[in-house]
Chains A and B, each alone.
Chain A
Amino acid sequence: EVQLVESGGDLVQPGGSLRLSCAASGFTFYEYPMHWVRQAPGKGLEWVSGICTGGGCAGYADSVKGRFTISRDDARKSLYLQMNSLTVEDTALYYCGKELSRHGHSPLDYWGQGILVTVSS
């Protein structure tokens, strides 16, 4: 059974940093591109960042570019999101997601339960 479990969410002050983790199990983690998607309270889904297999490429939404860094550790079957210079607009539930296909250009067929990040003074 595929499982994605996020951790690392917290209440942080504006300008602070946080590192999210996503522990994967039930599939061959290194074969699949992975993503972070967030959802602000009462709002829609917003893609945050994605990473290719092997970490060879990564993409970011304009809203987080230069502040967030995605990475993966295939040996630990884990996905990470380093978030710096946080603002109140980053307050959201953060989901990690697995792509359907090993070959990219595919949607997310499994999602974690989400982890809450609150940015407030």
Chain B
Amino acid sequence: EIVLTQSPATLSLSPGETATLSCRASQSVGTYLAWYQQKPGQAPRLLIYDASNRATGIPARFSGSGSGTDFTLTINSLEPEDFAVYYCQQRSDWLTFGGGTKVEI
């Protein structure tokens, strides 16, 4: 089973700042890595797939990078609606989710 480790667990930032979230896989997943955003009471929303491709309708301030075992989600110029929990997920071997990073004000 591929384990995904996200860091930090919590990121405290202000609107307008840049968020950098990390996801590390226990073995290579190539570029089969996705990022989701989840707000309270809502289902997760796909942000990034194949490590760096933005999903439909996702603003350009969200970007992803990485391959193999190390991945990064960057959110430039945080908007108030960006404060949420973010999960990475691999699809190299069925599915696994990371533990999540909460981006808070």
Contacts and interface: CB of A to CB of B under 8 A. Distances in A.
Contacts of B69: none
Interface residues on A, range: 20 to 34
A59 B94 contact: yes
B55 A47 contact: no
A45 B94 CA distance: 14
B91 A105 contact: yes
Of A59, A107, A112, which is in contact with the most chain B CB atoms at under 10 Å from its CB?
A107
Contact of B1 (A44, A62, A95, A107): A62
Nearest to A47: B95
Interface of B: 1, 32, 34, 36, 38, 43-44, 46, 49, 55-56, 85, 87, 89, 91-92, 94-100
Contacts of A106: 49, 91
Contact of B87 (A45, A62, A112, A114): A45
B43 A111 contact: yes
Given A44-B87, A95-B43, A113-B43, A107 B97 contact: no
A109 B97 contact: no
Nearest to A44: B100
Contacts of B99: 44
Contacts of B44: 45, 95, 108, 111
B46 A100 contact: yes
Interface string A79-96: 000000000000000010
B85 to A, nearest CB: 8
Given A45-B36, A46-B97, A50-B95, 4 more contacts: A45-B87, A104-B91, A112-B43, A114-B43
B39 to A, nearest CB: 13
A112 B100 CA distance: 20
B46 A105 contact: no
30 contacts: A44-B85, A44-B87, A44-B97, A45-B38, A45-B44, A45-B97, A45-B100, A46-B97, A47-B89, A47-B94, A47-B97, A50-B94, A50-B95, A62-B1, A95-B43, A95-B44, A100-B46, A100-B49, A100-B55, A104-B91, A105-B32, A106-B49, A106-B91, A107-B34, A107-B36, A107-B49, A109-B56, A111-B44, A113-B43, A114-B43
